[in-house]
Amino acid sequence: GAKGISELEKTVELIPKDILTIADAKRGDIGNTSEMYAKSVYDHFKFDAVTLHPYMGKDSLQPFLEYTDKMNYVLVLTSNTGANDFEKLELKDGSFLYQNILLRVKEWNEKQNCGIVLGATKLDELKSNINNFGNLSVLLPGVGAQGGSLEDVSKTFKDKNRKNYLVNVSRGIIYKSSGEDFAEAARNEIISLNKITSGNLN
């Protein structure tokens, strides 16, 4: 409720300006509603990026795409098991729905402000589709509690000489400690995770 919104506002204010902020909002709706969502995320909360779902078509995302100084991460293949229900539906040409979405996002990236979301738990699909990402930035949730491997993901990108990706770790950090040492425990975990990715990029 209102308390949650207030806490979100305070959280964003506390994040240093040189740190990328992503609103994991998964927005996507008809024109005027989408416009208000975009204003909320970008003008009110001042996020740098947002996650969007594409299932109502390009016009449902267009208000977000008008923000040329922001990054819009469109869901392509998510990390949950339910991704099989729709995202992996096979089309008449033998491809999958998520692969078609990937192609569409590349078309929508006229202003170089589109990225994609691809779950870190979908390693086989990552490997088989990475050559089709073009210059899209990739956001990868699902490492840790959901079973995705940071080592495998970062190695996959290293093997293809690609560096434009972000790995999201949530529960692995925020639940690192429930005591007074939380800040130190969270910091140590972040440092440890960054060593894995930097090691695979050298």
**Active-site residue set:** 26
What is the 3 state secondary structure string of 111-136? HCCEEEEECCCCHHHHHHHHHHCCCC
Residue type, 93: D
Token digits of residue 176:
């690192």
Contacts of 135 (CB under 8 A, 6+ apart): 109, 112, 164
Do 105 and 56 meet the contact criterion of CB atoms below 8 Å apart?
A: no
